[in-house]
Amino acid sequence: MMDAVPAIPPFERFYVEQSDVVLGFLRKRLPRDAAEDAFQETFLRALRAYDRLEHGEHLRAWVLTIAARIAIDTGRRTRPTAHELPELPVVDGRPAYAEIEHLAGALPPTERAAVVLRYAYDLAYDDIATALGSSPEAARQAASSGIRRLRSKGGTP
């Protein structure tokens, strides 16, 4: 006996059934305004492709795949550039670099910057590379070299 393939529901019903899941998914991955924009873009793309669907199986996975790709694209478009690095929080009235300046102060400038941005500010290597005007690999290497140098001198961040 052959299993019946689920029929494709009307788009309106599909939207009602999936909208809360998609919005929740996007809000976990993007800032609120960006999530709402991505939500609209997700269902716009789904609507454009809806008439080409061959069956109604795995509709939630399909729409979440669309949403995930939009979230990734949104994240790529909103990466800070060297001129617009994010303002980083100050904890207890001291900037984050002040917490490790006694360790990183003796490092060469590039290593010091990479170590402070990575371990004091918890920036990704892509963002560190932007700040240093280098590649993510060079930023990772500078931070690694700085940490090795600190460990060899007896300081461990």
Task: Among 49, 77, 105, identify where a domain stops.
Answer: 77
* Number of domains within the chain: 2
| Whether residue 28 sits in one domain with residue 59 | yes
CA-nearest of 137, 141, 143, 91 to 113 is 143
18 close to 65: Cβ distance less than 8 angstroms = no
Question: Residue 81 pLDDT more than 60?
Answer: no
Closest by alpha carbon to 114, among 95, 139, 133, 79? Answer: 139
For residue 79, the model assigns a pLDDT of: 58
Q: Do 54 and 20 share a structural domain? A: yes
Residue 3 forms part of a structural domain = no
Q: Let me know if residue 88 belongs to a domain.
A: no
What is the token pair recorded at 136?
A: 């993510």
- For residue 65, pLDDT over 90 is answered with yes
Q: Which of 20, 44, 77 is the C-terminal boundary of a domain?
A: 77
Answer whether residue 126 is part of any domain.
yes
- Does residue 69 share a domain with residue 28? yes
19 and 73 assigned to the same domain: yes
The confidence score (pLDDT) of residue 95 equals 59
Give me the domain span that covers residue 141. 96-152
Same domain, 25 and 71: yes
Residue 149, CB-side half-sphere exposure with 13 Å CA sphere: 18
Q: Would 6 be classed as within a structural domain?
A: no
CATH number at residue 55: 1.10.1740.10
pLDDT digits (tens, 9 = 90+) for 2-37: 567 788 899 999 999 999 999 999 999 888 889 999
**Whole-structure pTM over 0.95, yes or no?**
no
- Shared-domain flag, residues 127 and 71: no
For residue range 125-155, what is the model confidence (pLDDT) as tens digits?
A: 888 888 888 899 999 999 899 888 888 876 5
Report the range of poorest mean pLDDT among 44-53, 57-66, 71-80. Answer: 71-80
Is residue 65 located within the same domain as residue 102?
no
Residue at 5 is within a domain: no
What mean pLDDT value characterizes the chain? 82
Contact 19, 43 (CB under 8 A): yes
* CATH, residue 148: 1.10.10.10
